[in-house]
Amino acid sequence: MAAITIFGKGNMGQAIGDVFKQGGNQVSYLGNGDPVKNLGDIVVLAVPYPAAISIAKANPTALVGKIVIDITNPLNFETWDDLVVPADSSAAEQLKQLLPDSKLIKGFNTTFAATLKSRQVGDQQTTVMAASDSNEAKATLEAALKDSGVAFIDAGALKRARELERFGFLQMTLAAKEKIGWTGGFAIEK
Amino acid sequence: MAAITIFGKGNMGQAIGDVFKQGGNQVSYLGNGDPVKNLGDIVVLAVPYPAAISIAKANPTALVGKIVIDITNPLNFETWDDLVVPADSSAAEQLKQLLPDSKLIKGFNTTFAATLKSRQVGDQQTTVMAASDSNEAKATLEAALKDSGVAFIDAGALKRARELERFGFLQMTLAAKEKIGWTGGFAIEK
């Protein structure tokens, strides 16, 4: 069991919290402006990319030693044609620069809120792909998801966040164009 | 029915040819060193990225006006940690620069040979995602696949090849690490 603090009470924050609760973890939420204290071992930044950057800049000390999960898809939402992070980087790597003493994980950016809630993408179990330079952090996340109804795949080092974010970006563009549904998307067949 | 010429007789070339044959198209192959003539309306570069570049450089005139399908995943196969194309580009865009008068499509780079053969990723029908700046070329490809047993999704402009190639790269790294099987991978649930 892990103590988990989720920044953000939107669709994604709620869906992730419910998944972790089913996994037997203790979940608390922080909304915009709430005092940042009593953080759990795992902190989920379930907010848009610019807000995640703001949280990282405002709370580097509180986040020291924490497992910090970046779920963002850093789209340029004006053009839907690019990410706002440098092409040779990722939102997760940008956050890692601001939080060098946190254990940063990219995860939950490839699962829509609806597929987290249903635990299914089509006939396939919903899978969280996680990238991090900390194997300990990934093992803790995998354990926290064990009984959650959501599967886990270790996608490699934090650098693989570049691929995960492009994967999430593509999935969102296809859903926005109604080529796939927001209740469907990319399933993972092991 | 389209006339289709496939450069490359490897696993991918054969699997793609069989798919197009089932779709009722006329398929011919060109191997390494074969004279480049009598090309079909659709030309598939079913070869590794460096070979695709060589074919484009050697045959710009023969490929004028053709629908050229780039299926490559331009991995650095020494490190398996990067693509060999610039981060703000893609193999498909590099080829387009060499073949400005061809109708370039990125496609078939997100489907393993085994899932093209089986027409299935898990319980889901195998889907070809295609990116191109030519809507006519995408419509021709979609028509050629109509009765092939393989589904088609228009993934947008050629620029989306950046996402398709990162998607393919991630899928290959997960298969190489046995997190997913080469007979499985990323399915698309519409």
Q: What is the pLDDT of residues A76-106, one digit of tens each?
A: 999 999 999 999 999 999 999 999 999 999 9
Is there a contact between B131 and B160 (Cβ–Cβ < 8 Å)? yes
Picking from A129, A153, A166, A172 by the largest number of B CB atoms within 10 A of its own CB, the best residue to mutate is A166
Q: Does B124 touch chain A (CB under 8 A)?
A: yes
ipTM higher than the 0.90 cut: yes
Q: Does the distance separating the beta carbons of A167 and B163 come in below 8 Å?
A: yes
Whether the model pTM is above 0.90: yes
pLDDT of residue B185: 96
Bridge partners, residue B4, by sequence: B27, B42
pLDDT of residue A190: 87
**b (16+ CB within 10 A) / e for A95-122:** bbebbeebbbbbbbbbbbbbbbbebbbb
Would you mind telling me the total number of residues written for chain B in this entry?
190
Residue with tokens 């460096």: B50
Is there a contact between B96 and B104 (Cβ–Cβ < 8 Å)? yes
Low-confidence ranges of chain A (pLDDT < 70): none
pLDDT of residue B153: 98
- Residue numbers in B near A162 (CB within 8 A): 87, 166
Q: Does the distance separating the beta carbons of A166 and B167 come in below 8 Å?
A: yes
Query: How many CB atoms are located within 10 Å of the residue A51 CB?
Result: 15
For residues B149 and B21, what is the distance between their CA atoms, to the nearest angstrom?
11
For residues B153 and B93, what is the distance between their CA atoms, to the nearest angstrom?
19
Give the pairing of strands B185-189 and A185-189. Answer: antiparallel
For residues A11 and B177, what is the distance between their CA atoms, to the nearest angstrom?
33
Q: Does B153 touch chain A (CB under 8 A)?
A: yes
Q: pLDDT tens for residues B81-101?
A: 999 999 999 999 999 999 999
- The percentage of residues in chain B with a pLDDT greater than 70, rounded to a whole number, is 100
For residues B143 and B148, what is the distance between their CA atoms, to the nearest angstrom?
10
DSSP class of residue A126 equals P
Is there a contact between B151 and B140 (Cβ–Cβ < 8 Å)? no
For residues B113 and B111, what is the distance between their CA atoms, to the nearest angstrom?
6
Residues 6+ apart with CB under 8 A from A131: A92, A105, A106, A107, A155, A156, A157, A158, A159, A160, A161, A164
Residue among B103, B100, B111 nearest B172 (CA): B111
The H or E element containing residue A14 is helix A11-22
Q: pLDDT tens for residues B33-42?
A: 899 999 999 9
Average pLDDT in the B106-119 region? 98
Listed by start position, the domains of chain B span 3-176
Note the CATH number of domain B3-176. Answer: 3.40.50.720
Is there a contact between B151 and B120 (Cβ–Cβ < 8 Å)? no
pLDDT of residue B119: 98
Q: 3-state DSSP call for residue A95?
A: helix
Residues 6+ apart with CB under 8 A from B2: B20, B25, B26, B40, B41, B42, B140, B143, B144
Average pLDDT in the B1-11 region? 97
Is there a contact between B131 and B103 (Cβ–Cβ < 8 Å)? no
Give the gap in angstroms from C-alpha B91 to the nearest C-alpha of chain A: 15
**H-helix segments, A38-187:** 49-58, 91-98, 113-118, 135-145, 161-176
Q: Does B178 touch chain A (CB under 8 A)?
A: no
Q: Does B155 touch chain A (CB under 8 A)?
A: yes
User: Which of B162, B180, B185 is nearest residue A166 as measured by Cβ atoms?
Assistant: B162
Nearest residue in A to B89, CA atom: A87
Q: Does A121 touch chain B (CB under 8 A)?
A: yes
pLDDT of residue A100: 98
Q: Does B88 touch chain A (CB under 8 A)?
A: yes
Give the gap in angstroms from C-alpha A188 to the nearest C-alpha of chain B: 5
pLDDT of residue A59: 97
Is there a contact between B71 and B108 (Cβ–Cβ < 8 Å)? yes
